[in-house]
Amino acid sequence: MPMPLPMPLPPSRRKDEQKPLVFDASLLQHELNIPPQFIWPDDEKPCPNKPSPPLLMPHIDLGSFRSGDPLAVSNATRLANEACRRHGFFLVVNHGIDLSLIREAQRTLVSFFAMPLSEKQRAQRQLGDHCGYASSFTKRFSSKLPWKETLSFRYCADKKSSNIVEDYFLNVMGENFRNFGRVYQEYSEAMSNLSLVIMELLGMSLGIGPTHFRDFFEENDSIMRLNYYPPCQKPDQTLGTGPHCDPTSLTILHEDDVGGLEVFVDEKWHSIRPNSEAFVVNIGDTFMALSNGVYKSCLHRAVVNNQTARQSLAFFLSPKMDKVVSPPKELIESQYPRLYPDFTWSTFLEFTQKHYRADKKTLDAFANWLQDKNN
Ligand SMILES: C=C1C[C@]23C[C@@]1(O)CC[C@H]2[C@]1(C)CCC[C@@](C)(C(=O)O)[C@H]1[C@@H]3C(=O)O
Ligand SMILES: O=C(O)CCC(=O)C(=O)O
Ligand SMILES: [Fe+2]
């Protein structure tokens, strides 16, 4: 009696289709069709034939603000207040950060992502961890995959962590990456110092003075992220980063000269024109909670194109893990009841990594999750 032939597996269960999807941009960008996991639903696809209007954002001159000149301070705080109440985005110019440091950080980003995938995967990010190399989150999400690769690492401003970034690159990538570590240690320190000046500005713009938020973030425990968006053969089908609000406190973003960042304001996507001499700063969910909802953490996304790669350096300011996020009493007036419960950043971060994919409703979903957990 001849052995029955094995039944052919249905297409969905053929072995070769069970291999985990790997985002190797050096290969994927040349394939005619992109894997379905990267194709976003119609209501979230970008509309290339309907370019997003530019977002009108104030250019806040940080150097003038720091000079203490009363007119400059009043101008900067007024512009910050208007923008943060409306959509939470503003440009910072005359920031004092060494342009050669920014250029070196952008060049180093290109070198890292140009490496073979196997080299980059030595820094592979583990499930539940927010640091490391992620090639489009193929191991974390199964649909609506972003068309990007990222490298994220921790920056701590306290004295005993003065080499945390340099050590990260040495430990994870080896001695040959000591200079990578030096560049991003210096860049992260510059971002941390810049964010403290911006916290003075935000404190004054909210009428509670320069020291409250500055002190809160003095010893910040932040996240530095390198974003690399390869060119995509079907840019109208996918997104570099999907619509989301940053769960962190403040984002300081440096874009290269390739546009792609868009912000959702007045029910419409607006584009941000790249400006390599400026930083794009936006309020995150945690600062929205700290301001008792007065300043807005706003929905944004990154679109890709079929011509050239795009890259950005994102510094996500966050407080020490155990700091309790609670608005100052001046922002809790009778007419402004508490909008969000007290929480620690470590609990919120864990929520975004283990329980919820950050999107447009992250803070509300977190507040509900906290309430259910405590009941
Ligand atoms: C705490 C964080 C989670 C994400 C990185 C970040 O440090 C701040 C932004 C978050 C993110 C970029 C929002 C969009 C979705 C996300 C998964 C991504 O596209 O990278 C988010 C990041 C994450 O790693 O969860
Ligand atoms: O790359 C960009 O322009 C934005 C990326 C972003 O929003 C993020 O990483 O949170
Ligand atoms: Fe973001």
CATH code of the domain covering residue 350: 2.60.120.330
Tokens of 320: 């020490």
Does residue 9 lie in a domain region? no
pLDDT at 24: 85
The preferred substitution site among 191, 244, 262, 315 for testing ligand 1, maximizing ligand atoms within 8 Å of CB, is 244
Catalytic residue, candidates 125, 214, 225, 310: 310
pTM: 0.94
Which atom of ligand 1 lies closest to the CA of 148? 19
Q: Report whether residue 348 contacts ligand 1, using a CB cutoff of 6 Å.
A: no
The preferred substitution site among 142, 346, 352 for testing ligand 1, maximizing ligand atoms within 8 Å of CB, is 352
pLDDT at 3: 53
Does residue 24 lie in a domain region? no
pLDDT at 109: 98
Q: Domain residues for 302?
A: 35-374
Q: Report whether residue 241 contacts ligand 2, using a CB cutoff of 6 Å.
A: yes
Domain count within the chain:
1
pLDDT at 20: 66
Q: Atom 20, ligand 1: which residue's CA is nearest? A: 241
How far is the C-alpha of 246 from the C-alpha of 133, rounded, in Å? 19
Mark whether 182 is an active-site residue. Answer: no
C-alpha distances out from residue 161 to 166, 176, 199, 225, 241, Å: 10, 21, 22, 18, 30
pLDDT at 10: 47
Does residue 348 lie in a domain region? yes
Residue 52: other Cβ atoms inside 10 A? 18
Ligand nearest to the CA of 314: 2
Q: Report whether residue 77 contacts ligand 2, using a CB cutoff of 6 Å.
A: no
Q: Report whether residue 297 contacts ligand 2, using a CB cutoff of 6 Å.
A: no
pLDDT in tens, 119-157: 999 999 988 889 999 988 888 899 999 999 999 999 999
41 within 8 A of 144, measured Cβ to Cβ: yes
Which atom of ligand 2 lies closest to the CA of 261? 3
Residue ranges of the chain whose pLDDT lies below 50: 6, 8-13, 15-17
Ligand nearest to the CA of 352: 1
Does residue 79 lie in a domain region? yes
Ligand 3 centroid – CA 27 distance (Å): 26
- In sequence order, what are the beta bridge partners of 270? 263
252 within 8 A of 195, measured Cβ to Cβ: yes
pLDDT at 19: 62
Does residue 117 lie in a domain region? yes
Does residue 25 lie in a domain region? no
pLDDT at 47: 85
Does residue 154 lie in a domain region? yes
CB under 8 Å, gap of 24 or more: what pairs does 127-133 form? 128/353, 128/354, 129/353, 130/223, 130/349, 130/352, 130/353, 131/168, 131/223, 132/172
Q: Report whether residue 135 contacts ligand 2, using a CB cutoff of 6 Å.
A: no
Q: What ipTM did this prediction achieve?
A: 0.98
Does residue 213 lie in a domain region? yes
Ligand 1 centroid – CA 75 distance (Å): 33
